[in-house]
Amino acid sequence: MSSTEPRVLIVDDQALVRTGFRMILTARGIAVAGEAGDGDEAIAVFRRLRPDVVLMDIRMPRTDGLEAAGRILELDPRCRVIMLTTFDLDRYVYAALAIGASGFLLKDVTPEHLAAAVRLVATGDALLAPSITRRLVERFADRTPSDVQAGLRHGLETLTPRELEVLELLGRGLSNGELAELLTLSEATVKTHVARIFAKLGLRDRAQAVVLAYETGLITPGGTG
């Protein structure tokens, strides 16, 4: 991802929503590379334009946002996908995070938050709405089959005790600054730990770290944190 403003693809089956998001982003200096009205069109437009960030509605006719997001991330794992939903705890968002989406936003997001969210995910260094994501993961993590949990937990054996501690705190939604303060470390050291965790476990970003922390049982739904 370059240091310039990210290029965005807006995907929603409602033209008014697409227009509104386009106006918000362009007014704040973020380029909208293109638009699409459903998942099939989104994949085709993505192939042609290769944007940095995709704003993807979940519920659409024909190919829905979840399938489209997965196919786009297969085409280019460097892309960042933000899922758009009308509902705070849409059950599809958990699946979207699990396949590699970087987070999600409610459609009534403020203009300032929308622009900030696009810039955040473009850096690959932030999880959107961690409190909402944690609640959603808590609600659906127990659906993961036990054999999958066992396979995922095997990967945790590659982490040092400190890295396990950092991963658990990431799963609870703490920022790098909060981690540094809690663990009495510099932010640079925290970033190094986070980078090593991502490399060892094959994680794209903090969204996947949250999912993994719950799926492996490192954090239990309803636990303190």
Q: Please, what is the Cα angle at 205 between 177 and 88, to 5 degrees? A: 90
Give the tokens for residue 146: 């036990």
Residue 1 is predicted with a pLDDT of 43
**134 and 102 in a common domain:** yes
pTM: 0.72
Per the structure, the complete domain to which residue 178 belongs is given by: 146-215
| Sequential DSSP letters for 46-110 | HHHH--SEEEEESS-SSS-HHHHHHHHHHH-TT-EEEEEESSTT-HHHHHHHHHT--EEEETT--
Q: Is residue 88 part of a domain?
A: yes
Residue 100 is predicted with a pLDDT of 83
Question: How many domains does the chain divide into?
Answer: 2
Mean of pLDDT values over 59-74: 91
Mean of pLDDT values over 67-84: 92
Reply yes or no on whether the pLDDT at 2 is more than 50: no
Of 102, 119, 139, which residue sits at a domain end?
Answer: 139
Task: Return the CATH number at 184.
Answer: 1.10.10.10
